[in-house]
Amino acid sequence: MENMTNKEYQQYAEKKIPKPTYFKNMLMAFLVGGIICTIGQFIRNWLFNSGLDEKAVAGGTAIILVFLGALLTGLGVYDKIGKIGGAGAAIPITGFSNAIVSPAMEHRTEGLIFGVASKMFIIAGPVLVYGVSSSVIVGILYVLLTKGR
Q: Of 14-53, which residues contact another protein (CB under 8 A)?
A: 22, 25-26, 29-38, 40-45
Q: How far is the CB of 137 from another protein (least distance, A)?
A: 8
| 108 part of the interface to another protein, by CB under 8 A | yes
Q: How far is the CB of 7 from another protein (least distance, A)?
A: 21
What residues from 50 to 79 belong to the interface with another protein (CB under 8 A)?
Answer: 55, 58-63, 65-67, 70-71, 73-76, 79
Cα separation, 104 vs 65, whole angstroms? 18
| 113 part of the interface to another protein, by CB under 8 A | no
> Quick one: how far is CA 89 from the chain centroid?
6
Nearest to 73 by CA among 45, 50, 51, 103: 103
| 81 part of the interface to another protein, by CB under 8 A | no
| 118 part of the interface to another protein, by CB under 8 A | no
| Count of residues in contact with another protein, rule CB under 8 A | 77
Q: What is the DSSP letter of 107?
A: T
Contact 96, 127 (CB under 8 A): yes
Nearest to 71 by CA among 59, 83, 81: 81
Q: How far is the CB of 35 from another protein (least distance, A)?
A: 7
Q: How far is the CB of 16 from another protein (least distance, A)?
A: 19
Q: What is the DSSP letter of 3?
A: T
- Comparing CB distances to another protein, the nearer of 4 and 11 is 11
Q: Fill in the amino acid letter for 109.
A: T
Contact 137, 108 (CB under 8 A): no
